[in-house]
Structure 1
Amino acid sequence: MHSCLLCAFLIFLLSFLLSSLSIPFYPSNSLSLFGDAQFSNNSITLTQETSCLSSSNSSNGIGRAFYDYPVRFLDISSNVTASFSCKFSFTITSSSPSCPLGDGIAFFITSNSGFFSVSNGYMGLPNEVSDPQDSYIAVEFDTNYDPSLGDINGNHIGIDANTILSLDSVDVTSLGFDLKSGKKMTAWIEYRDSSKKIKVWLGEDYEARPPAPVLESEIDLSKHLKEFMHVGFSASNGRGSAVHVVDQWRFKTSGVAPSTLPVETVQEEECLVCWPGDTGEDDQVSDFRRRDKREVRLALGLGGLALFVIFVLGILCFYYVFVLRRKGMIPGECNEGQSSRFQGSKVPRRLSLSEIRSATRGFNQNKIIGEGASAVVYEGALPSCGTVAVKRFSEVKQKGNLRNPFSNEFGTMAGCLRHKNLVQLQGWCCEKNELVLVYEYMPNGSLDRILHLRTHATKLLTWERRLNIILGVASALVYLHEDCERLIIHRDVKTCNIMLDADLNAKLGDFGLAEVYEHSCRTRDATLPAGTMGYLAPEYVYSGVPTVKTDVYSFGVVVLEVVSGRRPVDDNGVVLADWVWDLWEKGTVGEAVDHKLIGRYNKVEMERVLVVGLSCVHPNSKKRPTVKEAARMMKGEMPLPNLPAKKPTVKIQSVLPKQSEELLRFGHDEVNDTPWATPKTHFSRF
């Protein structure tokens, strides 16, 4: 309790000091940099000098920088869209006389900071947005002429919405500007929702905005803006070479109050992002409040004292919450220190315990829709989200290297995992002894329930829907393994954790066992194997080292389970993977098809999926395909693998420590006969 109060007091003090002293909140650690971007002399250098010959075939010719904290652009309850103003200085300097210039620089607003292009060209922007959940708006300062993109020349400003093809553009050469001159220029960007217009000014004097914009375009951004968006910059060199630099950036919204920390500590009339050395207000922008010089001097005078007090309190809070809790000296309370690490950094909203109780009618037993080893799931209703699934975690005593499922799942999901085939985290609550995660509601429950328990509903699972579910799970795993900014190994892929929406589309959930790594990480730590029998890869059971190939094995079991309608291990102890391997050896693998399909399927397509499923459960992990390869093979985009005539035998030596009895107990009186099998999640009611 004391730790939560201390953190709350610290946040309040930060909020009070920042709002009353008007000190701009924009430390460099609130920026995320990707690709070639780096900090240099209080500026953001987005691209580096390169050889144009090497950059043409490189994936390192881009740089991106975005503000870590999502900005609220849309009030869903009132359907009000924010207006915004942006001002920044930039320079584009040719770095090699023998090479053409780079592509240019773009200011962007995006719903997903992770889906931008990672290859050269297009200023690092996506060619087009294919997923309706993603959206972006960009103002490009283009220095590369590409007729295929509709460019008017190699020195223009354009406005993009969900595609690199500009909606509107202007040649700035005739206005006396050369974007690639190496001179520092200042851009002003303003959008007014009342007039549905976006305006862009360009000048060389940072203090005085020109009277007339260089570009004015009618566009309704409410059709492109989501509730929360990220703001930032992107640049690329393509086949050329240039250094793209941004500094003195300021940004603000009006009309919609921000609602995530630390953004919510800034008053509506104040600058949302002020960085660096930008102490004055814009005389030309009417909604930037003019500050009295004495107030600024007071802020600067007291700023040092305030920062010192904050620094001391921060050290005390860190020691009390993190150090003591990790040593086990603060038992039985919500780990506020850990939750504050994620608070406000991503879209999920913090909810009060009273809101959670109201949504679930006091955790009413009749609202339970699922129960697992560490949590109970309730159906609930929130005014801002509609029907939701409320996952209430029970208190877990941590031993050895076993982690609290809430901390692990929250830490993974708070990383803004946004994908159409992942169950989306809507909010969270960490209050008193309650640990709660709030997810979007899946009206058709789990795949396990429909496949095995709801006999009357199994007829809904036509072959076309089953294949769509398999490909949906594959898409989610490809995102976790390859497309996410960090490598995520799920470790618990099974039908219980695959949820179905109203249209029976698959969404992978339950990240309580997930492991997160940097993509550059070459080795994995050995852990106590966790998961469910029948889904675990043999090498993982014995080594305790999770890899993407252990997820591939679990995915392969899911494929065989969906096709056959059989459980991974049936009541007689028959292992599904072994059973299908036996059919393959006999040349009768087609007999594995679920009889409830009564022959209503494409035989060639079905056998192709079964072969891919078997390749995924190959005992030798090196012989398994990646999930992306498996999906392509099922779609007929790649040739099928050459499977051995019979299930191969692979020798694996256990590396589990002999003295692991205490770890294996994990709150049980007796050691489990199958220590790698955690209690199976079940959804007994729907």
Structure 2
Amino acid sequence: MLCHTLFILHFFIFITLILPSLSLPSQNVTLFGDASYTDTAISLTKQQLTCLSSSSSTSGIGRAFYLYPVRFLDPLTNSTASFSCRFSFSILSSSSCPSSSDGIAFLISSTTDFSSFSNGYMGLPNSDKDSYFAIEFDTSYDPSLGDINGNHVGIDVNSVVSFASVDVLSRGVDLKSGKIITAWIEYRDDMKMIRVWVGYSSTRPLTPILASLIDLSEIFKEFMHVGFSASNGKGSSIHLVHDWKFKTLSYSHFVSPIDDVEEGDCFLCYAGDSKASKKKGENFRREKFGEIALGIGGITAFVVSALALGVMIYVILKRKKGGVIRKIKESQSCRFQTNKVPVRLSLSEITSATMGFNRDRLVGEGASAKVYKGSLQFGGDVAVKRFEKVDDLDRLHNPFATEFATMVGCLRHKNLVQLKGWCCEENELVLVYEYLPNGSLDKVLHRNSSSSVVLSWNQRVNIILGVAAALTYLHEECERQIIHRDVKTCNIMLDADFNAKLGDFGLAEVYEHSCSTRDATIPAGTMGYLAPEYVYSGVPTVKTDVYSFGVVMIEVVTGRRPVGDDGTVVGDYVWNLWKQNRLVDAADPKLRGEFDVIEMERMLLVGLVCVHPDYEKRPRVREAARMIKKEAPLPLLPTTKPRVRIKPICHNDTPETQSFVDDWVSTEEAPYLTPKSQFN
């Protein structure tokens, strides 16, 4: 009886205090500058009769903020709220102005009373005293701000210069098309990650267009203002916000990720919006155990509601204690199920799992991390990758950040090592992977000859095809193209059945599939696996991964290391045997002749094609796999190894655009071409 009475009280408070604040947008949104209401949206800017000059002050700038400040920090627990929002917007450009407007930004600011840059910049704050975070939908191109083009989405933190951005035009979204665009923004404090989705559909795309590690606890104050800002700058456009839903919540280890904002509070809903009307009815049964109050109905409503809800939960738990405990245990045991988002683990859990990072638990060691075998109470055996300790300023610029950002994008493939969890606590950076009992391919392949475990020919073929499947997925099947940059036998792990799984994404590079240009970097990787053009130019491509895959293929067939103790390169060794028509002699002696000769020779020929000095002659990994499986013919190979030809690397090279930067260079004269490189 008490439970029913409290529920009715709680329901009544919600109806009387929260429902009125959601009835009309004018009651819960405050407008600034040029912003105004239309029948179906908020117009942040007005159409300009003449194009503005750079000397204009606040003209052409408009903002809309939610009426009440939103609480993002809990001073008692020193925790930061995660948040998620969905909104629809459109930008209607004017044909009278040749210049584009600045664009629109979703803004979380410490204040609504701030000065702006004189010539727009989406009306973002221009003061060292103002703390803000923004997702910009930028329609102007300003090289001085590091803009990649005039149609991009960027992440801004206390600066109009984005620290991360992506070209959305290449993803099929034109910000200046005038169409209604829907955006989803999610920040997870447990992962310290922001993710952004954009599309024309009301259904959220599977893959975010932009994801980046960021710790907003260093940016947010206890209360922040949430809203939008836009400016015309030198152009003239109408920036419209059509609808907007937002929610904050606190995460525990067992809370599932935010998948949508369908249950968020409607900050901008119109009476004619059927979805909004439906949402008002849903709000009454939407209370979540970990949700942070947004102050919509006032502090009194929240306190009374929380007390009522607390009593209800106590009564329910009292009656169903056994069932609750059982469900908690089930949720704990399911933390590491396949295809689940990786979970955050505490340092105490990691320390316990590895017995204090005991040296006896060490199973691998690299340039930037050590790998320990661990055993978690509810996750079984895991591989714990502990990265070298770094300063706080370097946390976002190290192999941990690169690998985490790549893997947390839910890379799910049977031939990729799966990330199960992570830990960022104190100065420890740890990634937790599934444990693969047979270790790395390198150790199995090159273990002491007296060992009883020798890979059979069929197992070797299966391993090579598994690596090929993983690389094909990364290169062609992911939403964004991933260049691994460090394909080698040390990074290929073997499960209990000796199936291959590619891991270690600490050097990976992520690109848009339509990207036509790529920046040069200082080449990094392992000697013997690097393509000559990559070492020389520093530009990674799928063909540089193909070269590394070819070396792995030859290494698996021959049992030889990429570079022998005497300096012999395994590729050159096989090229010489091919020249002498003695290719079968390259087979690993450990096989003791137990292999199909024709199949083995075919495998070596595919390996030679993949390590061809001219990257244009190399196949894609998918094509190489088809050759191995006899689904595609082998290309003709010269009788001797071609000389290395170095030229610029471009994603869309054509014969007309190619030019030599160096003449033919023999590998004997410059075996690695390493003017500036970093090797493991």
TM-score, with structure 2 as normaliser: 0.53
Q: Does 1:388 align with 2:382?
A: yes
Q: Counterparts in 2 of 1:36-435, with a 5 A limit?
A: 113=206, 259-260=255-256, 271=263, 277=269, 288=285, 299=296, 347-395=341-389, 403-435=397-429
Percent identical pairs in the alignment equals: 55
Q: Does 1:551 align with 2:545?
A: yes
CA contact (8 A) 1:42 1:276 kept: no
CA–CA distance in 2 between the matches of 1:427 and 1:625? 35
Tell me how far 1:643 sits from its aligned partner. 0.7
For each residue in 1:549-572, what CA deviation from the matched residue of structure 2 results, as whole angstroms up to 9, or x when unmatched? 111100000000000011001111
For each residue in 1:217-264, what CA deviation from the matched residue of structure 2 results, as whole angstroms up to 9, or x when unmatched? xxxxxxxxxxxxxxxxxxxxxxxxxxxxx999999xxxx996156679
- 1:200 maps to what in 2? none
CA contact (8 A) 2:614 2:645 kept: no
AA aligned to 2:542 is V
For each residue in 1:428-447, what CA deviation from the matched residue of structure 2 results, as whole angstroms up to 9, or x when unmatched? 11111111111111110000
CA distance 1:654–1:289, shift in 2 (3 Å): closer
CA–CA distance in 1 between the matches of 2:298 and 2:422? 39
CA–CA distance in 2 between the matches of 1:67 and 1:9? 25
Q: Aligned with 1:524: secondary structure?
A: coil
TM-score, with structure 1 as normaliser: 0.52
Tell me how far 1:470 sits from its aligned partner. 0.3
Q: Does 1:446 align with 2:440?
A: yes
- 2:521 maps to what in 1? 527
CA distance 1:473–1:284, shift in 2 (3 Å): same
CA distance 1:247–1:470, shift in 2 (3 Å): farther
Q: Aligned with 1:299: secondary structure?
A: coil
- 2:679 maps to what in 1? 678
AA aligned to 1:369 is V
CA contact (8 A) 2:265 2:283 kept: no
CA–CA distance in 1 between the matches of 2:648 and 2:277? 65
For each residue in 1:138-182, what CA deviation from the matched residue of structure 2 results, as whole angstroms up to 9, or x when unmatched? xxxxxxxxxxxxxxxxxxxxxxxxxxxxxxxxxxxxxxxxxxxxx
Q: Aligned with 2:446: secondary structure?
A: helix
Tell me how far 1:288 sits from its aligned partner. 2.8
Tell me how far 1:383 sits from its aligned partner. 2.7
How much is the aligned-residue C-alpha RMSD, in angstroms?
4.8
CA–CA distance in 2 between the matches of 1:512 and 1:12? 31
Q: Any gaps of 5 or more consecutive residues in structure 2?
A: 1-71, 89-105, 107-134, 138-152, 154-167, 189-199, 209-241, 270-274, 300-339, 650-672
CA contact (8 A) 1:379 1:441 kept: yes
For each residue in 1:73-123, what CA deviation from the matched residue of structure 2 results, as whole angstroms up to 9, or x when unmatched? xxxxxxxxxxxxxxxxxx9xxxxxxxxxxxxx9979xxx9369xxxxxxxx
AA aligned to 2:263 is C
Tell me how far 1:543 sits from its aligned partner. 1.4
CA distance 1:13–1:556, shift in 2 (3 Å): closer
AA aligned to 1:676 is S
CA distance 1:500–1:419, shift in 2 (3 Å): same
Q: Counterparts in 2 of 1:609-624, with a 5 A limit?
A: 609-624=603-618
Q: Does 1:502 align with 2:506?
A: no
CA distance 1:362–1:284, shift in 2 (3 Å): same
CA contact (8 A) 1:281 1:289 kept: no
- 2:565 maps to what in 1? 571
Q: Aligned with 1:507: secondary structure?
A: strand
CA distance 1:470–1:289, shift in 2 (3 Å): closer
CA contact (8 A) 1:283 1:290 kept: no
CA–CA distance in 2 between the matches of 1:612 and 1:482? 20
CA contact (8 A) 2:463 2:500 kept: yes
CA distance 1:285–1:7, shift in 2 (3 Å): closer
Q: Counterparts in 2 of 1:511-526, with a 5 A limit?
A: 511-526=505-520
- 2:100 maps to what in 1? none
Q: Any gaps of 5 or more consecutive residues in structure 1?
A: 1-5, 19-23, 47-64, 71-90, 92-104, 116-245, 303-345, 656-671, 680-686
AA aligned to 2:677 is W
- 1:587 maps to what in 2? 581
CA distance 1:286–1:544, shift in 2 (3 Å): closer
AA aligned to 1:495 is T
- 1:468 maps to what in 2? 462
Q: Aligned with 2:524: secondary structure?
A: coil
CA contact (8 A) 2:403 2:507 kept: yes
CA distance 1:653–1:296, shift in 2 (3 Å): closer
Tell me how far 1:377 sits from its aligned partner. 0.5
CA distance 1:474–1:289, shift in 2 (3 Å): closer
- 2:149 maps to what in 1? none
CA–CA distance in 1 between the matches of 2:610 and 2:636? 12
CA distance 1:558–1:399, shift in 2 (3 Å): farther
Tell me how far 1:678 sits from its aligned partner. 2.1
CA contact (8 A) 2:493 2:500 kept: yes
Tell me how far 1:652 sits from its aligned partner. 3.0
AA aligned to 1:464 is N
- 1:162 maps to what in 2? none
AA aligned to 2:474 is L
AA aligned to 1:499 is M
AA aligned to 2:506 is G
Tell me how far 1:273 sits from its aligned partner. 8.3
Tell me how far 1:397 sits from its aligned partner. 8.0
For each residue in 1:324-343, what CA deviation from the matched residue of structure 2 results, as whole angstroms up to 9, or x when unmatched? xxxxxxxxxxxxxxxxxxxx
AA aligned to 1:368 is L
For each residue in 1:31-69, what CA deviation from the matched residue of structure 2 results, as whole angstroms up to 9, or x when unmatched? 9999767899999779xxxxxxxxxxxxxxxxxx98868
CA contact (8 A) 2:536 2:675 kept: no
CA contact (8 A) 1:556 1:614 kept: yes
CA contact (8 A) 1:486 1:517 kept: yes
CA–CA distance in 1 between the matches of 2:463 and 2:407? 22
AA aligned to 1:358 is S
AA aligned to 2:255 is S
CA contact (8 A) 1:429 1:435 kept: yes
Tell me how far 1:456 sits from its aligned partner. 5.2
Q: Over alpha carbons, which structure has the higher Rg?
A: 2
2:480 corresponds, among 481, 486, 500, to 486
Tell me how far 1:623 sits from its aligned partner. 0.7
CA–CA distance in 2 between the matches of 1:372 and 1:257? 30
CA contact (8 A) 2:186 2:258 kept: no
For each residue in 1:629-664, what CA deviation from the matched residue of structure 2 results, as whole angstroms up to 9, or x when unmatched? 101111111110111111001243799xxxxxxxxx
CA–CA distance in 2 between the matches of 1:408 and 1:675? 22
